[in-house]
Amino acid sequence: MMAAAQALEREVADLLISALNIEGRDAESMDPDAPLFGAHDIGWGLDSIDALEVALAIQQKYGVELRADEEATRQAFTSVRTLAEHVAAHRH
C-alpha cells in the first residue's frame, strides 16, 4: 500500500518534470511535500501556466479531469503528494 503510493508520487513527479521542461530537477531528490507554487528555492516554483500544463498532462495520462473552481483541485495542487493522492482517488 505504502509502496504503491510512493511509486505513484514518483510517477507524478516525473510527469511534472517532463510536462514542464524542467529536466534539471531530479524526481527522486524532491521532497513530495514541497509546495508546487510559490518560491523557487523551497519548492517547485510553478505558476498558473504550469497548472494548466499539469492538469492537461494528468488528464491525458490518468483520465482525471481537474476543475479549478473545486476545493478538491485547490488542495490537490498543494504538493506532489496531494496531487498523487487526488489521482489515486479519481483515476479510472
Partner 1 sequence: MSAELPAAAAPLLELVALGHAGAADSPMFWLQGLPVSRAGFAASAAALAERLPNARYAINVCENRFAFATAFAAAIARGQTNLLPASSSPDALAALRSRYPDSYVLWDEAVRGGVLVPRKPNGAALHEVPLIDGAHPAALVFTSGSTGQPQAHLKTWQSIHHSGSTVAARLFAAYGHVNIVATVPQQHMYGLETSIAVPLAAAHAISVERPVFPEDVRRALAALPAPRVLVTTPVHIRALLGAATRLPALAAIISATAPLSSELAERAEIQFAAPVMEIYGSTETGSIASRRTLEGPHWRLLDGMQLDNADGVSRVCVIPGTEVVPLQDILEVDGDGFRLLGRSGDMVKVGGKRASLADLTFKLQSIAGVIDAVVFQPEANDHTLVQRPVALVVAPGLSENEILTALGRLIDPVFLPRPLRKVDQLPRNTVGKLPRQALQQLLVNA
Please say which residue, 1 or 24, places its beta carbon nearer to partner 1.
Answer: 24
Residues in a beta bridge with 53: none
Shortest Cβ 5–partner 1 spacing (Å) = 25
- 10 closest CA partner among 92, 88, 65: 88
Residues that bind partner 1 (CB under 8 A): 19-25, 39-41, 45, 47-49, 51-53, 55-56, 59-60, 65-69, 73
Shortest Cβ 45–partner 1 spacing (Å) = 6
Please say which residue, 7 or 47, places its beta carbon nearer to partner 1.
Answer: 47
**Residue 45 CB partners (closer than 8 Å, separation 6+):** 37, 38, 39
Cα separation of 49 and 30, whole Å?
21
